[in-house]
Amino acid sequence: MATAPFLPYGKQLIEDDDVAAVAEALRGDFLTTGPSVTAFEEAFAARVGARHAISCANGTAALHMTALALGLKAGDRTIVPAITFLATANCARYVGAEVTFADVDPSTALMTDASMEDALARAGSAAKAVYPVHMNGQTADMAAISKRARKRGLAIVEDACHALGGAYRDADGPEAPVGSCRHSDMAIFSFHPVKIIASGEGGMVTTNDGTLAARLRRERNHGMVREPSLFEDKDQAFGPDGSANPWYYEMPEPGFNYRLTDIHAALGLSQLKKLDRFAARRRELVALYDRALAAYVPVIRPLSRTPHDTPGWHLYVALIDFARAGVDRGACMRAMAKDGVGSQVHYLPLHRQPYYRGRYGAMSLPGAERYYAEALSLPLSAQMTGDDVERVVRALAAALGLDNRTDKGRR
């Protein structure tokens, strides 16, 4: 066992055709803003069933672009679940807006209709947008959340970084892929190597709204406008014969350079073709974990399963009663690492990050606190085998003193 390779909690699966796709992009005429970017965006939009897909440098840039496209600004507030990656909240701060943290269901880490309602009561009329997060790969109850958000006139942006390959199965219509924006204005994704498909760094925003899509494309590229019909300054824009000056572009508002390169897009496109296989493999591994860990209930419990979706699993989270096991989580993680098994905690509740605690004061969100106390992400990636799952479960059981071998030694 000691000689088996270290199993990280998440890792990309790169195959020969991925390498070939990147090599081909490198030999092409464009390293950025070229055909691979367009092809990736078109294939992504088609796969998730959205009208528009706008690629960008990473998932954080995608979030920032949504805040810009919605025109969020100082005095506005976004509603963000307390259990998510930093960037879901930070994107509001990038544009001067504030964040109101919503509590989550401790058995799923998802914001609920009720916890959103509670956050809205605290945010008051400053609330302008809600950012539900599909933690671990299960979707928030978007039908309920969007109904409440629409009633309040809020924009809805799904942070779908964890749920690519998943689908909504709610009562509002036939099954629809995550990213189709059935219940939202925009959805965002990341192609960081630990995510479901990898492009190195990379992100995507999907939307069915043409106006938002045009704004997102502009934010991604310095705020530049090249379409003559949109030029404001006719004197500078057009020549004596009335045709647009060939060099001319204009900038109504500054944007950013958040472009994805063709090198990254070529990898993303190649990986996207494998999404169904990767997602199916992750579902199989999740089922194997569930079966193997069932022996350790109630110390180890699986997440509750949401009824309204088919998950696109990013993480396998076990909920562990460390107090009952009598083992500190840090010690458990270190013991597993010594056995060659990586693990991680997703995430420290954002209201406990020094920056947000300093800005908004200490607060109590008991669902998020409880989830945080129990969550441990175990290795999950498309190249893992059934033997790998068994190895992880053995290492976890040993670290918690739950296996027979250590039972004799320790008690």
Closest approach of ligand PLP to the CB of residue 280, in Å: 21
Closest approach of ligand PLP to the CB of residue 371, in Å: 14
Candidates 255, 250, 243, 198; CA nearest to 225 is 250
Closest approach of ligand PLP to the CB of residue 58, in Å: 4
Looking at the Cβ atoms of 244 and 345, the one nearer to ligand PLP is: 345
Closest approach of ligand PLP to the CB of residue 160, in Å: 8
Looking at the Cβ atoms of 87 and 213, the one nearer to ligand PLP is: 87
* Residue ranges in contact with ligand PLP by CB under 6 A: 58-60, 84-85, 87-88, 133, 159, 161-162, 190, 192, 203
CB under 8 Å to 269, separation ≥6 — which residues? 21, 36, 39, 40, 43
The residue written with tokens 């350079």 in the block is: 257
Looking at the Cβ atoms of 168 and 347, the one nearer to ligand PLP is: 347
Closest approach of ligand PLP to the CB of residue 211, in Å: 24
Q: Interior CA angle at 16 toward 13 and 21, to 5°?
A: 100
Question: Token pair of 244, please?
Answer: 């647009």
CA distance 92 to 356: 12
Looking at the Cβ atoms of 260 and 320, the one nearer to ligand PLP is: 260
CA distance 85 to 109: 12
Looking at the Cβ atoms of 306 and 325, the one nearer to ligand PLP is: 306
Looking at the Cβ atoms of 85 and 278, the one nearer to ligand PLP is: 85
b/e 211-223 (16+ beta carbons within 10 angstroms → b): ebbbbbbbbbbbb
Q: Is the peptide bond before 347 cis (omega within 30 degrees of 0)?
A: yes
In the complex, residue closest to ligand PLP by CB: 59
CA distance 272 to 43: 8
Closest approach of ligand PLP to the CB of residue 9, in Å: 12
Q: Interior CA angle at 319 toward 316 and 322, to 5°?
A: 130
Looking at the Cβ atoms of 67 and 393, the one nearer to ligand PLP is: 67
Closest approach of ligand PLP to the CB of residue 110, in Å: 12
The answer to whether residues 215 and 242 touch, using CB atoms and an 8 Å cutoff, is: no
